[in-house]
C-alpha cells in the first residue's frame, strides 16, 4: 500500500519540478507561445490535483497506525500545491490570459449545455416512445378484457344449454321408464 503512495510521491515531485520550471518561463514569453505554456501549466496543475486525490484515497485505506505519518506528508504536499497555484496566478498578470481562460471556460460551459440539451432531447424521445408503448399495451388490455367478456358470455350460454340438455334427457328417461313400467304392468295384468 505504502509503495503506491511512494510512487505517487515520485510523480508529485516530477510534476511540481516541471511546473515550477514552466511558471518561471511565463513572464519571458509572449503571444501564442505564452498562451500554450499557460495552458500546459494549467493541465499539469490539474494532473497534480488528481494525483493528490489518489494519494488521499491511498492514505484513507492504510492501517490506522501508519495513517498519521502519511497524512502529514500529504498535508505538506497540499501546501506545496497551494503555493504553486499562487505562484502561477501571480505570473498571470496579463489580462489577455485571464480573458482567454474565461473564454475557454465559457466555451466548455456552452459545450456542456449543448450536450445536456442533446441528452434531454434523447430522454424526451425515449419517454415519448415509452408512452406510445404503454398506450398500445393499454389498448391490448382493453381488447383482451372485451374478448374475455365475450368468452364469458359464450361459456355461460353453453353451460345453460348443457344444463337444459341434461334436464331434457332426464325427463325423456323418466317418460321412457314410465312407459316401460306401464307396458309391463298392463302386460302382466292382461295375462
| Residue 61 belongs to a domain | yes
| Residue 105 belongs to a domain | no
pLDDT score at 95: 42
Find all residues with CB under 8 Å of 73, minimum gap 6, and list them. Answer: 9
Number of structural domains, the chain?
Answer: 1
| Residue 86 belongs to a domain | yes
Q: What does each of the 191 residues of the chain score in pLDDT, given as a tens digit?
A: 567 889 999 999 999 999 999 988 888 888 888 889 889 999 999 999 999 999 999 999 988 888 889 999 999 999 999 999 998 888 776 545 556 777 888 888 888 888 888 888 888 888 888 899 999 989 898 988 888 888 889 988 898 998 998 999 999 999 999 999 998 888 888 77
The CATH number covering residue 18 comes to: 1.20.58.400
CA distance 12 to 3: 14
| Residue 127 belongs to a domain | no
pLDDT score at 66: 84
Contact by Cβ (8 Å): 84, 21? no
| Residue 181 belongs to a domain | no
| Residue 66 belongs to a domain | yes
pTM: 0.47
Return the C-alpha cell found at 188.
Answer: 302382466
| Residue 144 belongs to a domain | no
* Domain interval for residue 78: 2-93
| Residue 147 belongs to a domain | no
Amino acid at each position: 500500500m505504502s509503495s503506491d503512495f511512494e510512487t505517487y510521491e515520485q510523480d508529485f515531485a516530477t510534476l511540481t519540478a516541471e511546473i515550477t520550471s514552466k511558471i518561471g518561463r511565463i513572464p519571458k514569453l509572449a503571444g501564442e507561445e505564452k498562451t500554450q505554456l499557460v495552458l500546459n501549466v494549467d493541465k499539469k496543475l490539474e494532473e497534480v490535483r488528481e494525483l493528490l486525490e489518489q494519494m488521499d484515497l491511498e492514505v484513507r485505506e492504510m492501517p490506522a497506525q501508519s495513517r498519521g505519518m502519511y497524512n502529514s506528508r500529504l498535508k505538506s504536499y497540499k501546501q506545496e500545491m497551494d503555493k504553486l497555484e499562487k505562484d502561477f496566478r501571480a505570473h498571470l498578470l496579463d489580462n489577455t490570459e485571464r480573458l482567454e481562460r474565461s473564454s475557454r471556460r465559457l466555451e466548455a460551459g456552452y459545450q456542456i449545455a449543448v450536450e445536456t440539451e442533446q441528452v434531454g432531447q434523447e430522454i424526451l424521445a425515449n419517454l415519448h416512445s415509452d408512452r406510445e408503448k404503454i398506450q398500445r399495451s393499454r389498448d391490448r388490455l382493453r381488447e383482451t378484457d372485451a374478448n374475455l367478456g365475450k368468452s364469458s358470455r359464450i361459456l355461460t350460454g353453453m353451460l345453460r344449454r348443457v344444463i337444459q340438455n341434461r334436464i331434457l334427457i332426464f325427463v325423456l328417461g323418466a317418460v321412457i321408464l314410465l312407459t316401460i313400467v306401464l307396458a309391463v304392468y298392463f302386460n302382466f295384468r292382461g295375462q
